[in-house]
């Protein structure tokens, strides 16, 4: 009997201790954002941004936005761009947020078709070259990043071999077993690379991929596998000096005033990320203010350091390393969002067949 | 009939929780695929199941998971014996360490495996990178701990006397093992094997990372169909296929688990010294340990490597937000969030898990009652076998209206993690609870003990230790959970695995090292918690 009492006391004590650690008991874990939202028509309150997991902006900028506009910003970032697009499409009638950022040109048509976005009333107009051919009134471009083939220039220097320059070069036996790329079915840069080959070779792209595979191309799951797992300039035991990465990547391999890698600017596909106000948002004014803020010079200039992407507004400044070591492609490959949306499944099926052979 | 009604009433609470958090979302998402243009059209979904690609994907999932389960059981059962029944020095620490792989983020382990098996790695000569063999190795690496722990706990509370009697009557050790010990352990082994199979069949990251995108499992296919291709019909078809297969599997497992003469000892059997006959098992355990240590060692070495030398810089950086401010919160803050979330997930999983275990193991008085109990048992295993993608999107579209507007609740993440941990708790507790002789409870009751008193004096002393093991298990599962968490985590309070994923997804020399260092911190935190739980032995328990 005594034991029972001792144990009961012990259990009670540990329960109290645990309650202290719990999220529910801690107090600061929970927020009551939904309740503090104000009714439409009246400025202020909370504005909720749905975005993908790569979203990030400096705390200082967010504070400044909240002070100037009177809104409280709540960011809900989870999943990749495809997940975000699916979420927004599925919840088009009862949106999970007020605004969304991070839908790119490869995924834009799906949520647009589902009616997830409301018309924008922006006072700011980004350059026309980034605008969507259809749905430009609902989604505004925020940033761009091009997916390009990157080469480890120091590896090629050491080998005394001239690095490749074009997509066609990659099937040259001189570069056999040197390329690693993330898969198109599992990674967004992988998909962009597939689109670049579709844009270059048209309906013959599966032949190009057969040649690429015959030349020893290696396909891995994600960008991080390719870059940190196989690329000679970044991986410990890397064996592949050619990798599919971004145009900005060379700015991150700077040693002693020069970069050891280069992006091949003739192999690029440009991804543009868009933002918009969600249809049926609880706080549409706040959402519009948020979208305008994303286009402000302060945020645009912070994009490279925070999210590794280039700003779209001409007034933004970019870091010195980027200006010096990460030139952007002038004439990237293009495939229209409608075409991507219509043919994505067929391309991916064919692509999987080609690489599984 | 009255008994069944009473039983259902008791089970109503847990069933309701699972109904809201699991059945409703999955049904909601699956029905998105069944409804085309506002009309119910199941024909189109069934057409999907005739696609050759679907057959290929389903077969690949079944065979890799089957082989991985067999290997995990083959390695795990001897190791469970060595680590739970023999007086091996340091076994507490080893047992805790074995749970480490269970919590490591797949993306990090994937990279660690690939550094070993890849073209330039020390094991590159084996040519395993991107093959199904690598996938199976990865699956075993993550799941062997489940077998060791579930079977080991049951082995500890196994009555050694029948085996001793058999030996006294002239049975060789091998005969004792085959005719006495293994049959008695069957519920635990089958239970562990079914959990491992479900974990393998729904594995996501490991299939993609180690298979080099060439191989698709049902889970990766559902992800691709839902998020990239937006073919909800095909995704629904695969989800339904998955559910049907899982239910079938659980039915078979329930049949295999049933044992005519369960025996559980009220006290934990003392460990015995190592004998010559134990050497094969001991050698196998060492092999398992070595195989587990290799990828972990790669990780630790990677976290200590700085530029061309060695140092602790990656660890020092954990209090910062990373290279180029890759993170919103420092890793240390994320660790605290992880631990607090895990506390919540653990008590939720224990609360539901203990009541479910008690309900399903009580003695049945009729065949109908037994069927109800075993159906309930299987029902609570379902969350492990159903796609996290389907569940995650289902949350968004079904739990969005009052009174069930849960999608913004801070408790959503621990709830989702508790669902994942629940089967672990149930499978650890039921073999032990099922082994209690019901006559003990009857005796207690006839001596005037109340239902509570009976529970405290008959059941609790036996399940005390397994309950600790189960809570440790649930805690670890929560700490390492990534799939559901990354889908639901709020940006202001990410858990450690989510932060690690972010770090590894950003370029920057420091970020990769930091991701490795953070993984080591996660592993150490898990091991420390596990050791603490193992030490929590209340003196006098079992000696009533």
Question: B37-76 pLDDT, tens per residue?
Answer: 777 778 878 888 888 888 988 999 999 999 999 999 999 9
Mean pLDDT of B358-371: 81
Mean pLDDT of B388-413: 81
For residue B214, give how far its alpha carbon lies from the nearest alpha carbon of chain A (Å). Answer: 6
Mean pLDDT of B526-537: 73
Is residue B364 pLDDT above 80, yes or no? no
Residues A183 and A226 in one domain: yes
Range of the structural domain that residue A283 is part of: 42-144+271-317
The string over A123-135, giving b where at least 16 C-beta atoms fall within 10 Å of a residue's C-beta and e elsewhere, is eeebeeebbbeeb
B341/A23 touch (CB, cutoff 8 Å), yes or no:
yes
* Structure confidence at residue B489 as a pLDDT band (50, 70, 90): low
User: Is A254 part of the contact surface with chain B (CB cutoff 8 Å)?
Assistant: no
Mean pLDDT of B246-272: 72
Residues A153 and A246 in one domain: yes
Residues A185 and A247 in one domain: yes
pLDDT at A110: 87
* Structure confidence at residue B492 as a pLDDT band (50, 70, 90): low
Residue A124 within a domain: yes
Residue A258 within a domain: yes
pLDDT at B140: 93
Residues A150 and A191 in one domain: yes
The chain-wide mean pLDDT, for chain B, equals 82
A/B interface, count of CB pairs below 8 Å: 193
DSSP state of B539: T
DSSP state of B324: G
Domains and CATH numbers, chain B: 2-535 (1.10.3720.10)
pLDDT at A2: 46
Residues A182 and A64 in one domain: no
Mean pLDDT of B342-352: 92
B505/A55 touch (CB, cutoff 8 Å), yes or no:
no
pLDDT at A41: 47
Helix (H) or strand (E) holding A99: strand A99-104
Residue A54 within a domain: yes
Helix (H) or strand (E) holding A128: none
Residue A22 within a domain: no
Q: Which residue on chain A is closest to B322 by alpha carbon?
A: A306
B213/A235 touch (CB, cutoff 8 Å), yes or no:
no
Higher per-residue confidence, A190 vs B306: A190
For residue A185, give how far its alpha carbon lies from the nearest alpha carbon of chain B (Å). Answer: 7
Residue A213 within a domain: yes
* Structure confidence at residue B518 as a pLDDT band (50, 70, 90): confident
Q: Which residue on chain A is closest to B119 by alpha carbon?
A: A239
Residue A20 within a domain: no
Contact between residue A73 and residue A49 where contact means Cβ atoms under 8 Å apart: yes
User: Is A90 part of the contact surface with chain B (CB cutoff 8 Å)?
Assistant: yes
Domain count, chain A: 2
A96/B396 touch (CB, cutoff 8 Å), yes or no:
yes
Contact between residue B45 and residue B237 where contact means Cβ atoms under 8 Å apart: yes
DSSP state of B86: B
* Structure confidence at residue B541 as a pLDDT band (50, 70, 90): very low
Mean pLDDT of B360-382: 82
DSSP state of B321: -
Higher per-residue confidence, B410 vs A277: A277
Question: B248-260 pLDDT, tens per residue?
Answer: 888 888 888 776 5
User: What part of A 120-179 touches B (C-beta under 8 Å)?
Assistant: none
For residue B198, give how far its alpha carbon lies from the nearest alpha carbon of chain A (Å). Answer: 22
B302/A236 touch (CB, cutoff 8 Å), yes or no:
yes
* Structure confidence at residue B326 as a pLDDT band (50, 70, 90): low
Task: Give the CATH number for residue A183.
Answer: 3.40.190.10
B410/A31 touch (CB, cutoff 8 Å), yes or no:
yes
Q: Which of A18, A54, A85 sits opposite B343 (nearest CB)?
A: A18
Report d(CA B243, CA B77) in Å as an integer.
28
Among B270, B271, B181, B262, residue whose Cα is nearest residue B431 = B262
Residues A57 and A110 in one domain: yes
Question: B432-483 pLDDT, tens per residue?
Answer: 787 787 888 888 889 988 888 888 888 888 788 788 888 888 888 888 887 7
pLDDT at B525: 83
pLDDT at B1: 62
Residues A209 and A173 in one domain: yes
ipTM over 0.90: no
Give me A203's structure tokens. 């309906």
Among B475, B481, B249, B185, residue whose Cα is nearest residue B381 = B249
Residues A139 and A156 in one domain: no
Report d(CA B70, CA B73) in Å as an integer.
5
Residues A291 and A339 in one domain: no
For residue B25, give how far its alpha carbon lies from the nearest alpha carbon of chain A (Å). Answer: 13
pLDDT at B538: 40
* Structure confidence at residue B130 as a pLDDT band (50, 70, 90): confident
For residue B409, give how far its alpha carbon lies from the nearest alpha carbon of chain A (Å). Answer: 7
* Per-residue tens of pLDDT for chain A, all 357 residues: 445 444 454 454 455 455 555 655 443 333 333 434 444 445 678 999 999 877 888 888 999 999 999 999 988 877 788 889 989 998 888 898 999 999 998 888 889 999 999 999 887 889 988 988 888 899 999 999 999 999 999 999 999 999 999 999 999 999 999 999 998 988 889 999 999 999 999 999 999 999 999 999 999 888 888 888 789 998 777 889 999 999 999 998 888 889 999 999 999 999 999 999 999 999 999 999 999 999 999 999 999 988 889 999 999 999 998 999 999 999 999 898 889 988 988 898 889 888 876
User: Is A342 part of the contact surface with chain B (CB cutoff 8 Å)?
Assistant: no
Q: Which residue on chain A is closest to B456 by alpha carbon?
A: A4
Residue A1 within a domain: no
Q: What percent of chain B has pLDDT over 90?
A: 13
Residues A139 and A229 in one domain: no
* Furthest C-alpha separation in chain A: 84
Residues A337 and A226 in one domain: yes
B326 vs A contacts (CB less than 8 Å): 56
Residues A152 and A224 in one domain: yes
């Amino acid at each position: 009997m005594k034991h029972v009492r001792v144990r009961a006391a012990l259990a009670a004590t540990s329960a109290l201790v645990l309650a202290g650690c719990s999220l529910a008991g801690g107090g600061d874990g929970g927020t009551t954002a939904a309740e503090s939202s104000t009714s439409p028509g009246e400025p202020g309150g909370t504005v909720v941004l749905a975005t993908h997991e790569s979203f990030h902006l400096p705390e200082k900028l967010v504070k400044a936005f909240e002070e100037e506009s009177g809104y409280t910003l709540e960011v809900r970032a989870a999943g990749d761009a495809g997940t975000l697009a699916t979420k927004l499409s599925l919840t088009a009638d009862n949106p999970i947020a007020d605004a969304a950022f991070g839908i790119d040109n490869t995924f834009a048509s799906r949520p647009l078709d589902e009616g997830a976005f409301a018309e924008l009333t922006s006072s700011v107009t980004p350059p026309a070259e980034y605008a969507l051919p259809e749905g430009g009134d609902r989604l505004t471009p925020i940033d761009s990043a091009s997916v390009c083939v990157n080469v480890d220039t120091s590896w090629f220097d050491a080998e005394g071999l001239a690095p490749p320059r074009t997509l066609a070069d990659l099937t040259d036996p001189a570069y056999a077993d040197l390329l690693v790329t993330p898969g198109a079915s599992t990674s967004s840069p992988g998909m962009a690379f597939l689109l670049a080959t579709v844009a270059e070779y048209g309906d013959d792209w599966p032949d190009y991929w057969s040649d690429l595979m015959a030349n020893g191309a290696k396909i891995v799951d994600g960008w991080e596998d390719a870059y940190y797992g196989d690329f000679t300039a970044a991986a410990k035991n890397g064996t592949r000096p050619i990798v599919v990465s971004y145009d900005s990547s060379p700015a991150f391999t700077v040693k002693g005033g020069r970069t050891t890698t280069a992006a091949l600017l003739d192999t690029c596909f440009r991804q543009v990320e868009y933002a918009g106000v969600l249809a049926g948002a609880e706080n549409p004014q706040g959402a519009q203010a948020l979208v305008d803020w994303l286009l402000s010079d302060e945020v645009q200039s912070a994009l490279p350091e925070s999210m590794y992407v280039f700003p779209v507004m001409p007034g933004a400044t970019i870091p010195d390393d980027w200006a010096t070591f990460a030139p952007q492609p002038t004439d990237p490959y293009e495939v229209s969002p409608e075409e991507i949306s219509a043919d994505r499944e067929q391309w991916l099926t064919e692509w999987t067949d080609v690489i599984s052979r | 009939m009255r008994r069944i009604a009473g039983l259902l009433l008791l089970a109503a609470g847990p069933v309701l929780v699972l109904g809201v958090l699991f059945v409703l979302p999955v049904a909601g998402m699956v029905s998105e695929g069944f409804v085309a243009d506002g009309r119910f059209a199941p024909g189109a979904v069934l057409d999907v199941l005739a696609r050759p690609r679907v057959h290929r994907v389903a077969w690949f999932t079944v065979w890799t998971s089957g082989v991985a389960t067999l290997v995990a059981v083959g390695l795990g059962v001897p190791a469970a014996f060595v680590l739970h029944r023999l007086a091996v020095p340091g076994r507490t620490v080893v047992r805790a360490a074995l749970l480490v792989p269970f919590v490591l983020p797949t993306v990090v382990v994937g990279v660690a495996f690939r550094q070993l098996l890849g073209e330039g790695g020390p094991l590159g000569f084996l040519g395993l990178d991107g093959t199904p063999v690598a996938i199976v190795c990865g699956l075993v690496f993550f799941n062997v701990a489940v077998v060791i722990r579930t079977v080991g706990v049951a082995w500890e509370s196994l009555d050694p006397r029948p085996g001793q009697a058999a030996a006294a009557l002239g049975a060789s050790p091998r005969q004792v093992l085959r005719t006495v010990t293994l049959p008695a352990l069957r519920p635990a082994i089958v239970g562990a094997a079914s959990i491992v199979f479900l974990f393998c069949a729904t594995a996501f990251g490991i299939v993609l990372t180690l298979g080099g995108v060439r191989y698709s499992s049902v889970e990766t296919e559902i992800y691709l169909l839902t998020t990239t291709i937006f073919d909800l019909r095909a995704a629904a078809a695969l989800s339904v296929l998955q559910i049907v297969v899982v239910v079938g599997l659980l039915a078979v497992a329930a049949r295999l688990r049933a044992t005519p003469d369960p025996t559980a000892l009220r006290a934990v059997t003392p460990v015995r010294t190592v004998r010559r006959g134990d050497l094969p098992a001991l050698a196998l355990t060492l092999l398992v340990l070595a195989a587990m240590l290799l990828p972990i060692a790669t990780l630790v070495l990677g976290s200590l490597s700085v530029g061309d030398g060695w140092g602790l810089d990656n660890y020092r950086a954990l209090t910062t937000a990373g290279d180029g401010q890759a993170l919103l919160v420092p890793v240390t803050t994320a660790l605290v969030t992880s631990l607090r979330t895990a506390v919540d997930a653990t008590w939720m999983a224990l609360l539901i898990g203990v009541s479910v275990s008690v309900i399903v193991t009580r003695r049945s008085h009729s065949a109908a009652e037994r069927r109800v109990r075993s159906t309930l048992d299987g029902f609570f295993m379902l969350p492990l076998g159903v796609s996290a993608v389907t569940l995650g999107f289902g949350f968004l579209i079904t739990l969005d209206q009052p009174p069930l507007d849960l999608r913004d609740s801070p408790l959503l993440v621990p709830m989702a993690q508790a669902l994942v941990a629940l089967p672990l708790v149930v499978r650890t507790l039921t073999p032990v609870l099922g082994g209690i002789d019901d006559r003990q409870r009857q005796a207690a009751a006839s001596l005037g003990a109340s239902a509570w008193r009976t529970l405290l004096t008959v059941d609790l002393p036996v399940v005390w230790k397994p309950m600790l093991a189960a809570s440790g298990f649930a805690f670890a599962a929560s700490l390492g959970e990534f799939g559901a968490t990354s889908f639901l985590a709020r940006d202001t309070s990410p858990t450690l695995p989510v932060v690690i994923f972010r770090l590894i997804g950003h370029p920057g020399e420091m970020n990769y090292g930091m991701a490795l260092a953070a993984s080591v911190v996660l592993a150490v935190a898990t091991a420390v918690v596990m050791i603490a739980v193992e030490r929590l032995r209340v003196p006098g328990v079992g000696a009533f």
